[in-house]
């Protein structure tokens, strides 16, 4: 199965072409994408990657997109591109949580909590329970203030991770230890997405939406509608 995975959830992103089967997983291309230029770069970089592999868009068997949380604009670009290609070429698409992908980067089973800086002294929190086979038994995602989160994990036996130095530094000032983990890239999303596609965990392109977790600025600061 030839996969295209797109991650435009952060300040910078990546796209990956990968060939996956029951016997192995081969990353053919992992292409960096510059933040704030996703809409201009995504399709040209995809075309270049396909050309280097002597492939065409029609050869892609499935799509994987990072569904959030993350940058509102970045997520919209990545999802709209993946959804459009999925619809036009009639191929399945799977959405993968950024927090799940980050949690899987830790390669830890049991109770794993991963946090991402969300700005405004808030963080996105992914609370996961993994089996020894590294299958998700429980997953909960939320937006929590720094102070509230640090208070809640004092004495917890969960394994705490974050790819964001600002989160780890803040944790140290609250006598909480959060280990570093790598931020996931599109190849990680492709690996997770492949398993979802195999399991039939797909979403129709026309109904697939980003998981922002929190409201946009426009929603937060818009004036309430006047009652008639």
- Per domain, the residue ranges of the chain are 2-98+184-214, 107-180
Measured CA to CA, the distance from residue 209 to residue 24 in angstroms comes to: 30
194, pLDDT greater than 70: yes
Q: Tell whether the torsion through CA atoms of 74, 170, 120 and 127 is positive or negative.
A: positive
**Where residue 214 falls among pLDDT bands split at 50, 70, 90?**
confident
From CA 64, how far away is CA 197, in angstroms rounded? 9
pLDDT digits (tens, 9 = 90+) for 46-73: 999 999 999 999 999 999 999 999 999 9
Q: According to the model, what pLDDT value does residue 219 have? A: 41
Rg (CA), the chain: 18
Residue-wise pLDDT tens digits, 109-157 = 999 999 999 999 999 999 999 999 889 999 999 999 999 999 999 989 9
Q: Which fold has domain 107-180?
A: Nucleotidyltransferase; domain 5 (3.30.420)
CATH architecture of 2-98+184-214: 2-Layer Sandwich (3.30)
Question: What pTM was computed for the model?
Answer: 0.92
Fold match flag (2-98+184-214 vs 107-180):
yes
Which token pair is 65?
């997109």
**Parallel, antiparallel, or unpaired: how do β-strands 122-130 and 110-119 relate?**
antiparallel
Does 96 have pLDDT greater than 60?
Answer: yes
């Amino acid at each position: 199965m030839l996969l295209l995975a797109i991650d435009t959830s952060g300040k910078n992103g990546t796209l990956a072409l990968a060939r996956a089967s029951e016997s192995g997983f081969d990353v053919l291309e992992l292409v960096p994408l510059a933040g704030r230029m996703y809409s201009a770069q995504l399709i040209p970089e995809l075309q270049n990657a396909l050309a280097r592999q002597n492939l065409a868009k029609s050869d892609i068997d499935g799509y994987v997109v990072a569904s959030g949380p993350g940058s509102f604009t970045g997520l919209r670009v990545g999802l709209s591109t993946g959804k459009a290609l999925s619809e036009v070429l009639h191929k399945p698409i799977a959405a993968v949580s950024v927090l799940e992908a980050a949690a899987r980067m830790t390669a830890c089973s049991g109770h794993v909590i991963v946090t991402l800086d969300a700005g405004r002294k808030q963080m996105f929190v992914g609370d996961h329970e993994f089996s020894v086979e590294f299958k998700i038994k429980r997953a909960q995602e939320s937006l929590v203030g720094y102070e509230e989160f640090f208070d809640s994990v004092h004495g917890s036996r969960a394994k705490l991770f974050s790819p964001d130095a600002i989160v780890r530094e803040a944790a140290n000032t609250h006598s909480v230890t959060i280990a570093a983990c790598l931020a996931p890239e599109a190849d990680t999303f492709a690996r997770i997405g492949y398993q979802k596609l195999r399991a039939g965990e797909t979403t129709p392109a026309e109904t697939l939406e980003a998981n922002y977790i929190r409201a946009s600025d426009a929603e937060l600061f818009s004036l309430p509608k006047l009652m008639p």
